[in-house]
Chains A and B, each alone.
Chain A
Amino acid sequence: MKCECCSKTEATIHLTQVIEGEVKKLNLCQDCAQKNGIDLNSPISITDVLLGLGNQDESSLPKSDLSEFDLSCSQCQMTRAEFKKRARLGCPECYNAFMGELSAITMAMHHSRQHVGKIPARQGNEARTTAQIAALQKDIEIAIAKEQYEVAAGLRDKIRKLREEIPQSAAEEKSHDA
């Protein structure tokens, strides 16, 4: 495969970018990658890669209609453009403000959208129950893969019961996600 930038040299660097939630593949040769600010000698931050080509000049980035009205976080006033430039969020609320964009990024990075790990002790039962449900859903997938349908059914009943414990607003959000 030839480099998509110079079309001369064999492409040895293969990047996957997510732009506006769309996954784009980019194949470059070593020279062009370096010219585009991808430092091969330093660990590439996956966030930088997913948000665009690192230090690349803003003006050469593909223009999109969305960038016209720049979304910003109501809490810390970080704009979408700033987030893309820095590849770091401004505050916890940014996760809500840039949800659309982040959803695609987290999916590409972690292949998941749901936390199933540790929950801070003081965060209340809601988080705990949501996590428990997510863990059980994973177990169901495993049970189905092993064709243990009775086990899966038992787990499904457990999930139903747990869902009843979640306050209405959270449950609605859950069903909306599904």
Chain B
Amino acid sequence: MTLDDMVQRHGSWLESGVGEGPVVSSRIRLARNVDEYCFPGWASEEDNHAVWKQIEELFTSMNGDFISWGMTDTPELDREILFERHLISQELAQQDDSCGVFVSADECLSIMVNEEDHIRIQSLQSGLNLQAAWKAANEIDDKLEASLTYAFSPKLGYLTSCPSNVGTGLRASVMLHLPGLVLMEEMDPVINGISKIGLAVRGMWGEGTEAAGNMFQVSNQITLGRREDEIIAHLEQIVLELIDHETNARKRLMEEKSIIVEDHISRAFGILSHARLISSGEALNLLSTLRLGLDLGMVHELSRKELDMLFISIQPAHLQKLENKTLQPEERDVVRAEMLREYMKRAREG
């Protein structure tokens, strides 16, 4: 499979849509390092190369359905695609030698090599499904560990380049769509409250109430002194509470401002169906409004899966890959608007 095939479809973590409403996806990340080597940011080029080769051979021998991208041979646009699809970090996309990523065919698993740590296992699942994501990450971790000696101490657990990951090396996160809380101006207290209990909230694209598309990521900050299942259960519990808050905010929104909400949703549909120029920020916000309309039963033309996929495919690298050429920002706005217009037309015609 190539990136050209990839951009024509979506990762299967957008497939099933477990649970309705605000939850988009769940993610587990494990940070691991190979003993006897310096961490990638401090290691010599030879050492980084040795680690990369070792892990590359391991994946080849595993015969798993993994596709690999070494960053040295990956053009900038392709790196951006991998980033937009949440398969690599921005940091890795900007690195060059002896680093890369191994991605499972369904895009649910990606293993970054020589980013901040030697190994970063990422497991994605649709909806609120941290348990399944953890299971998959844990399995690949066991497989890797069967051949590699990890840097581990009985006292501090898995040793990582940054002390904020030491211990389990586990970052569990859930991507949430929270337009109700943003529109009711209740997002700031939520962010403050959550940060007091060892979790963090970040906008997927931009921060705080400025987060484009009202998409947020909630994750654990504490990685040491708690078991993996405890960390996951705690996050899950808080996410369920957040969903309640969001549902409640949407209910009040409809009670107090239903005509305004309906107007917003209809306008979003109108702009996406007719605009000739759309920036990615505007598109994210309009798609967010449609997603809210879908949850409130006001939009029937699109499925949540299609919408969630649009959040990814309207981004710059995806647009350029689909058009098969480099586009300046102004040109992208034209192409984006065109793509959305066609999409909306097809949706209306059902």
Contacts and interface: CB of A to CB of B under 8 A. Distances in A.
Contacts of B50: none
Interface string B22-36: 000000000001010
Tell me which of A92, A111, A113, A123 has the highest count of chain B C-beta atoms within 10 A of its own C-beta: A92
B142 A116 contact: no
Interface stretch (B75-83, B219-227, B306-314): B219-227
A112 B37 CA distance: 26
A131 interface: yes
Given A41-B207, A110-B223, A110-B224, A119 B42 contact: no
Interface stretch (A21-29, A61-69, A101-109, A157-165): A101-109
Nearest to A116: B227
A78 B43 CA distance: 11
A118 B162 CA distance: 19
A125 to B, nearest CB: 10
Contacts of B228: 117-118
B152 A127 contact: yes
A89 B200 contact: no
B248 to A, nearest CB: 27
Contacts of B141: 118
A115 B162 contact: no
User: Chain B interface residue count: which class?
Assistant: 35 or more
B39 A88 contact: yes
A115 B224 contact: yes
Given A117-B226, A121-B146, A95 B42 contact: no
A46 B223 CA distance: 13
Contacts of B164: 45-47, 109
B70 interface: no
B163 A106 contact: yes
Given A105-B163, A122-B149, A115 B38 contact: no
Interface residues of A, number: 42
Nearest to A75: B38
Contacts of A115: 153-158, 166-168, 224-225
A47 B163 contact: yes
B281 to A, nearest CB: 14
A141 B120 CA distance: 34
B161 interface: yes
Interface string A44-85: 011100000000000000000000000000011010000000
Contacts of B65: none
Contacts of B43: 91
Given A92-B39, A126-B154, 4 more contacts: A47-B163, A110-B224, A115-B225, A118-B227
27 contacts: A43-B202, A43-B207, A46-B164, A46-B221, A76-B38, A76-B42, A88-B162, A90-B38, A91-B37, A91-B39, A92-B33, A92-B35, A95-B153, A106-B163, A106-B166, A110-B167, A112-B167, A112-B226, A113-B224, A117-B168, A117-B228, A118-B157, A120-B152, A122-B146, A127-B152, A127-B153, A131-B154
Would you list the 5 A-B pairs with minimal beta carbon distance, nearest first?
A112-B225, A115-B157, A92-B151, A110-B224, A127-B154
